[in-house]
Amino acid sequence: MADFVRSSGILLHPTSLPGPYGIGDLGPQAYRWVDFLSRAGCALWQVLPLGPTGYGDSPYQCFSAFAGNPYLISPDLLVQAGWLTAEDLAELPAFPAERVDFGAVIPFKLALLARAFSRFQEHATVQQHAAVEAFHRAQGDWLEDYALFMALKQVHDGRPWVAWDAPLRRRDPAALQQFAARHRRLVEQQIFWQYLFFDQWRALRAYARQKGVRIIGDLPIFVAHDSADVWQRPGLFWLDEEGYPTVVAGVPPDYFSPTGQRWGNPLYRWERHAEEGYAWWLARFRTLLEQVDFVRLDHFRGFAACWEVPAGEETAVNGRWVSGPGAAFFEAVRQALGDLPLIAEDLGEITPDVISLRERFGLPGMKILVFAFDGNPHNPFLPHNFVPRCVVYTGTHDNDTVVAWYQAADEGARDFARRYLATDGREIAWDFLRAAWASVAVFAIAQMQDVLGLDNRARMNYPSRLGGNWEWRMRALPGDDIAQRLKEINGLYGRLA
């Protein structure tokens, strides 16, 4: 397991960082967060996908698989760079401290970013213009189309690309050229915003490395239908002549949902990807690995087989399993890019072909402690059943927090957990942390919510719920008492950075 060294870390999306601007960002608080991880002896910071969020504010439904989220751009750093002034930030809306109010944050941030772009156009030096142009050239494979896509959405009042006029929907070259000429300012604004995001993220990542902290990123297997990716390359997806999906992704009915989950993402025409040597995927990996040190492969089982749902179905009940690209995909990735530092999100309905694929390429899988305590000593999520080649989590963004799990569990599960962990349950979240850290798993990761011992008022996402997700924020960064407590268990269990 090249690059995988026994260590620990925290799962915290940047949107959850504290600060005065309604949403966490890549500014001063992010640097203080890295300082906290360093003091705590934690070598890993795990984030969710960093793309520009669209429907439902989900980082798993982005307008691009390559672009960065402009809402994460730090206003404070824009002041330092000269693109905003202190006066621009003098009067702030009364944002809630413990959640992101996306309805209020989005127009506020976009107005600030538009002001920053105006200042750039008016006052940028030759060197500053050259820096943006160099970024544009370096990211040209995706950036121009993304900027054009977002400008088109802006002119069309946010409507999805399938609702645009046919020449624009079908990417008629003359129509696109005419639009780009007429709305060049909007296109260049999007390019500038991406420059800001990548510049701020690059500096933050460099600081993290300097502090001994590496970043685990997240690569969603599927992309949103209303995205620059699908609009730019419709032939890579199962779409009809008008651009609508014919089949969509989901998961079958299970214990948690009797109708399954109909995600709605278009499915890949894997044979087309194979004909192109998986070039689109290789570009995704290259772009993400410029931003992070490890990559969590979301819905890994979809590379073996995925649940295909006819687009006209309202639920996922009437779906079927269809084969994914399998080993040929990972062989192509390995041949082009070498052995990548990938973590397989191997949760859900895992069949022997999924295990075989993961094992063939030596990828660490995931273990979730809130799934462990059903009373069965052979449960694969119990620490004594782990192998070193895995990553253990107290829970993930899609789960109850540990405290909420304990509150809702039946007494049999709680009793088993107490006996297994040798605890009275008064600090159940930290009991889970100790079990994760003490295990043989190469990486041990806790949600920040579990480090803070919070209940489901701090839960990040309910997969079957529309709205109200992705909102949790910390009021303030954790103090030295928590840093020292983490450092203690990092030292005890050989995970000290």
Angle CA 448–454–456, to nearest 5: 105
374 flagged as catalytic: no
The pLDDT assigned to 109 comes to: 98
Please give the full DSSP string across 116-151, using - where no structure is assigned: HHHHHHHH--HHHHHHHHHHHHHTHHHHHHHHHHHH
Of the pLDDT bands very low, low, confident and very high (cuts 50, 70, 90), residue 467 is: confident
Cα–Cα separations (whole angstroms), residue 376 to 25, 308, 338, 406, 433 = 42, 32, 39, 17, 20
Determine contact, residues 40/163, Cβ cutoff 8 Å. no
Q: How many whole angstroms from its chain centre is CA 92?
A: 28
N-to-C CA span, the chain: 18
Cα–Cα separations (whole angstroms), residue 309 to 194, 253, 448 = 34, 12, 35
CA 93 to CA 21: how far, in whole Å? 8
pLDDT digits (tens, 9 = 90+) for 40-76: 999 999 999 999 999 899 999 999 999 999 999 999 9
Q: Average the pLDDT over 254-282 and give the result.
A: 93
CA 425 to CA 414: how far, in whole Å? 8
- CA torsion 373-376-379-384 (nearest 10°) is 80
The pLDDT assigned to 102 comes to: 97
Q: Average the pLDDT over 442-470 and give the result.
A: 94
pLDDT digits (tens, 9 = 90+) for 370-417: 999 999 999 999 999 999 999 999 999 999 999 999 999 999 999 999
Contacts of 223 (CB under 8 A, 6+ apart): 62, 65, 229, 230, 265, 266
Q: Average the pLDDT over 422-436 and give the result.
A: 98
> Domain locations in the chain?
7-492
Determine contact, residues 234/243, Cβ cutoff 8 Å. yes
CA 375 to CA 370: how far, in whole Å? 12
- What kind and span of H or E run contains 210? helix 184-210
247-251 and 305-310 beta bridge pairing: antiparallel
Contacts of 153 (CB under 8 A, 6+ apart): 63, 159, 161
Structure tokens at 380: 């694969």
pLDDT digits (tens, 9 = 90+) for 69-86: 999 999 999 999 999 999
User: Minimum mean pLDDT among 7-16, 413-422, 442-451, 462-471: which range?
Assistant: 462-471
Of 313, 331, 398, 427, catalytic: 398
101 flagged as catalytic: no
Of 345, 400, 450, 471, catalytic: 345
The hierarchical CATH code for the domain 7-492 is 3.20.20.80
The pLDDT assigned to 1 comes to: 45
Of 298, 308, 431, 450, catalytic: 298
What percentage of the chain's residues is helix, strand, coil (to nearest 5)?
Answer: 45, 15, 40
240 flagged as catalytic: no
